[in-house]
Chain A
Amino acid sequence: MRILMACVSAAALAASVPALSQGQGNGNRGGNAHSDRGGGSSQADRGNKDAQRGGGNERRAERGDRADRGNAGRPDRADEQAQRGDRNTHRGERADRPADGDRRGENNRDRQAERDDRGQGNRHSESRTDRGNRGDQRAERGNREDRRADRDNGRDRDQARDLSERRERNLRVASERAERHRTLINRRDRRTDNRRDANGRDLADIDFYRERRWDGGDYRDRLGRARALQRTGWQSRFCPPGLANQNELCMPPGQYRKLYNRGARFDRRGYDLPEWYRASYRDRGLWGLFGGESNYRYANGYAYRLDPATQIVTALFPVIGGALGIGQALPTGYNVYNLPTQYRPLYRDDDFNYRYGDNAIFRVDPNNNRILGISQLLTNDFTVGRPVPSGYDAYNVPYGYRDAYSDDDQYRYRYNDGQIYQIDTGTQLVLAAINLFA
């Protein structure tokens, strides 16, 4: 019904346009008057264009006729153009273009006239035609909007109802949950619940944090859970993959190990590198000249080398058993296969990954990068071309190789890190390395 009404109103508006144009007082002359001002042809064109924009072809043809009529007293060219416009009504907007093209010589003038028209009388008829067409559009748009509004209203009502129900449900759940938490907290704090499992773990604690686990998962809950699990001895079982199972909490490995990064100032003065580790990280003192102040510190599984003057961390080394302990996630920078050459045939990345660090080869879980075992200890003592290191006074070649590599007057042989080294007895220089695993 609305559509029908809209069509009728649009038709009425379209029909009223010529009447309105005439009603401006000049009838056909109005067209001439327009042409006088700025060129009838352009107006006729415009009329056609407007008609094409606004309505169907028939209506446009009609309007073209009217324009023709309107231009009766105008110069021939204007008539021709108008007629062409009539003939071309079925071609749509393109019908106007040849008319424009025919008067290319007058293009500039016409354009100027068009500009003038916009500012003067043409404005009326044009704007009214436009208005009529726009009225059609508006009517249609209005219909669409009405329909959409109807749909939207329905949807809004549904959504509002859903939202309200959801809100109520959430409130109810939150309230129930809060009540349960209060009960658990009270039970735990008052120690009225003394339940223990078979391993003696506090069941009230476990219940409490098991409950909290599903409570939206905000940070404090996770923190609390980690602490509780640590207390109850469940930490290692519940540390999610990718988080380091550290002494206190499940923490992202990067975060944990950034306690002292390169360039940071080491503020734990007096916490020296433990004596048990000084053999590996020997103090060099100030610039290696004086043996006074230690320039190594140990913290959080890392040995830190410091600038003795500023206490700035210049290097840090993950320590076997510390940051490189079994169960720990490998520190950043150990993603690449980095084994010493002689051990590569022995340990290849396959079911497990193997990584080298702090003079050891570690077997690593490829899924979560955790250290599963220490496959090999190394010393890195020997370098070909350099003197034999101290500590290799005793012959130590494995039994299977003793016949081939036995000490004589010219050479000595020593085993280290998968290789047998040939040593010149005179110079004590390491001459060659024989790889046992090649």
Chain B
Amino acid sequence: MKKYIMCAPLAAMLLVTTACVKADDDNGDESATTTSAEAADGAPVASGEDLSIAENLAAVADLSTFNDAVAAAGLTETLGGAGPYTVFAPTDAAFESVENAREMLDRGGAPLVNLMSYHIVPGVVAVEDLRNAIEQGGGSAEIATMSGATLTARLDGDDVVISTGAGNQARITEADKAQINGMVHVIDGVLQPVAANGGGGG
């Protein structure tokens, strides 16, 4: 997390510089201008707006297990590509609480790809968007994942809690880490499509 914070001023400076360069260019890219304006205003905070999701995951120490899992599943290129995706990234501590997580990571293959894609959502979903959807949905909102399954978002006090059909749930602990190709929310649990011990079978 600290790296995110350390990255923020640097990224803002870079973006301001980019904006200056772009301003001189008559054919400047509209989206780039928008991004730089947002960064200059300081909202939303863009800890890694010049980096991809994959690059940021690799840079954050507390997300190393998730980053390893992404790499083992062969999804580093995916999260470093065009996207855009929203990623719910469990912390290392969250992985430690899962009994067969390490085994699953080591085994790799289709089950791991499925588990990882359960944490990836199409498009850019900010926490504010989730709150709005939960409100409009009467207390819950469904979110489609890249695995084909859906997650459910609810409010627990001020926190947004994400749960799976199998009953696993995780809380968003750090929200809206916008990246160049999407968004990262840090969560405190691993979202498993099945009950904790049912992930095998590959």
Contacts and interface: CB of A to CB of B under 8 A. Distances in A.
A396 B31 CA distance: 17
B148 A321 contact: no
Nearest to B149: A279
A390 B125 contact: no
Contacts of B35: 399-400
Interface stretch (A160-168, A254-262, A368-376): A368-376
Interface string B123-154: 11100011011001100011111111111010
Contacts of A396: 86, 121-125, 129
A391 B150 contact: yes
Contacts of B124: 396-399, 415
Contacts of A363: 77
B125 A377 contact: no
A275 B168 CA distance: 15
Contacts of A346: 82
A322 interface: yes
B143 A280 contact: no
B189 interface: no
A277 interface: yes
Interface in A353-405: 359-360, 363, 373-379, 381, 389-400
Contacts of B129: 394-396
A274 interface: yes
B193 A279 contact: yes
A380 B74 CA distance: 21
Given A301-B110, A325-B109, A395 B77 contact: no
A415 B85 CA distance: 10
Sort chain A's interface into a size bin. Answer: 35 or more
A398 to B, nearest CB: 5
A319 B148 CA distance: 13
Contacts of B114: 276-277, 280, 321
A386 B93 CA distance: 42
A65 interface: no
Interface residues of B, number: 58
B202 A274 contact: yes
A6 interface: no
Given A359-B148, A394-B132, A437 B82 contact: yes
Nearest to B122: A416
B9 interface: no
A7 interface: no
A226 to B, nearest CB: 20
B77 A374 contact: yes
Given A274-B202, A379-B146, 11 more contacts: A275-B193, A276-B115, A280-B114, A298-B201, A377-B75, A377-B85, A377-B120, A393-B143, A398-B123, A415-B123, A416-B123
26 contacts: A274-B111, A275-B194, A275-B201, A276-B201, A279-B148, A279-B193, A280-B114, A320-B110, A321-B74, A325-B74, A374-B75, A377-B117, A377-B146, A379-B122, A390-B142, A390-B150, A394-B129, A395-B129, A396-B125, A397-B123, A397-B124, A399-B35, A399-B124, A415-B123, A417-B122, A418-B82
